[in-house]
Structure 1
Amino acid sequence: MKISRGYFYALHLMLLAALAGSIYFLFSLRLDFPGLFLPDEKIMTIAHRGSSGYAPESTLASYRLGVKMKADYIEIDVQMTADGELIAMHDKTVDRTTNGTGRVKSMTLAQIKTLDAGSWFNEKHPIYARDDYANEKVPTLREIFEAFGKDTRYMLETKDPEDYPGMEEKMWALVEEFDLRKHVAVQSFSEISLKKIREWDKDVPLFQLLWYNRPARISERTLTEIGAYANGIGANYLRIDESYVDKVKEAGLLIYPYTVNYQVNMENAVKWGVDGVHTDFPDRLLEVIEELDDPEA
C-alpha cells in the first residue's frame, strides 16, 4: 500500500505534538528529574566523640579512629577552661573521663593537660584496651584541627554556652583560622548559641539538639521556629519513631538521631529515612548502610 507524503508528514506532526504535550504535563507536575535517576542522598555517619566505642572518648586516639573508619563527621563537645582555652570534653567536670576531679571552667589548660584521659577506658572496656591509651591527654580544639585539617568534617557542639561567655566567638575564630567553614557543622541544645553562629555564616549546617524523656512529639509550630535558623534536628533515638522522622523531614529539616550503637537500631533508623546517625561505632553503621544498599545482601 502506498502512503502519501502528506499522510507521512501529518503522522509525524501528531507524534511531535503528543511528545510536546507529555513533556508539558511532566513539568506541570514539578517533578524533580534528577531525583528520578539519582540515588537518595547519602546517610551521614557521625563518630560520636570519635569512635568512642573503641577508644577513650574525646581524645585524639578516638578521633583518629573515627577518621580511619571513614566517618563523615567526628563529633566534638566544646568547652572552655578557666584561662579561655577550648577543649574537647563532654561532661562539665573531668571526673568521669580522667584521673582528676574538678569543673572544666574552674581549671586551667595546664592543669587539665596533666590528667590521664585514657586509662579509665582500658579499665572499663578491657576487650578494646590498648597500652597506648594510657595517659592520653585531653585535646584542645586547636590540636584537633591541627591533627586532621581538611581530611575530615567536624560536628562541633557548643556545650553549656551560658557557662562560657565568648566560647562561640573563640570557636568560630579557630574555624576561620584553619579555613574550615566548609568542613564544619554546629549543634547545640542552645537556640541562642546557634542563632549567634547563624549571624556569622548563612551556610554552615546547624542542628538544634532536643532531648525527650518520653515518646517524642513535636509541633509544626516548633518545626517552623527551628527551621528559621537551623538546618536540622538531633534527637535521642530511643524516644523517636518513624512518624517523628517523617514529620521533621516534611518540614524540610534534616534529622540526625543520637546515639545509636546497636545494629538493629541502626537498621531501623536508616529504614525510617534519617539523614544521619550519631554512633560510637561508625564501622558498624557503615556496614548496615552497605548491606541495606546491596539488594543481594
Structure 2
Amino acid sequence: MDILLLLKATILGIVEGLTEFLPISSTGHLILVGDLLDFNDERGKVFEIVIQFAAILAVCWEYRAKLGSVTSGLLQKQEAAQRFTLNLFIAFLPLAILGLLFGKAIKAHLFSPVPVALAFIVGGLVILWAEKRQHSERIQSVDDMHWKDALKMGLAQALALIPGTSRSGSTIIGGLFFGLSRKAATEFSFFLAIPTLTAATIYEVVKYRHDFHADDLGIFLVGSVASFVSAFIAVRGLLRYISRHDFTVFAWYRIVFGLIVLATAYSGAVNWSAA
C-alpha cells in the first residue's frame, strides 16, 4: 500500500470529520484540501463518499440513546417520537428536492476553490451579523419544535447546496434566526445530518458504483477511522463550546481562510487547479 496515499487518506478523513458538523463547511474544505493533495479525481470523489458516511456513524453513536428512544417510541406510537421523526422528514425535503433539481448545475459551476472561498467569506459575515442580533429563544429543546420550525430549518439547510456555505452552519445559524436556543439549533443540525447525509451517500454510491474497487479498501478503512474519530471529537467539542461561547470564532475563521485562498489564487502563490 502506498504510504503517501494512506497519509492523504488520513488527512482528508480528519478534515471531513472535524468540519462536517462545525459551521465551516466540510465540502469546501474537502475541495480545497483535495486540490492541494491532488486527490480530487473520480477516485477522490468515491473516497469522500466513504468518509462522509463514517462521520454520520459518529453522530449516530453519540446520540445512540436518543435514537434508540425515538425508535422505541415509534414502535409504541408515542406522539413525541412521531413528531420528532416527522420534523426531521420535513426538514430533509427542501435540500433533497432542490438538490435533485439543481445539484448537477451547481457542481458544474461552483465546485472550485474561488467560489468556495467567496462562500466562506459571505458565510462568515452572516454569522457575525447573526451574533450581533438580539436572540429571542422560543425553543429550548428539539422536542419542542413545531413542523413549521422544521420547515424553516430545512430551507436554511438547502443553502448548503452552495459549496463553502456549510450545511451545519446554515442550519445552526438559521435556527438562531428562527428562535431556537444554541443547543436546540446545534442538536437539530446534528440529527438532520443523519437522513440528509445518508441519502446523499446512497445517491453517490449508486452514481459512482463502478468506481469502487477492492484495491482501495485500505484507504477507505484508514480514512473512515480518521473521519469517525475526528467527527466524534468535533460533535462533543462543539456542544461543550456553545455552552459558554457564541459562533463568532467560526465566522472569523471562515473570513480569514477565504481571504487566504483568494489571495493565493490571484497572486499565483498556490496553483489551485480550478482557480
Specify if TM > 0.5: no
TM-score by length of 1: 0.22
Structure exhibiting the larger radius of gyration computed from Cα positions? 1
Higher-helix-fraction structure: 2
TM-score by length of 2: 0.23
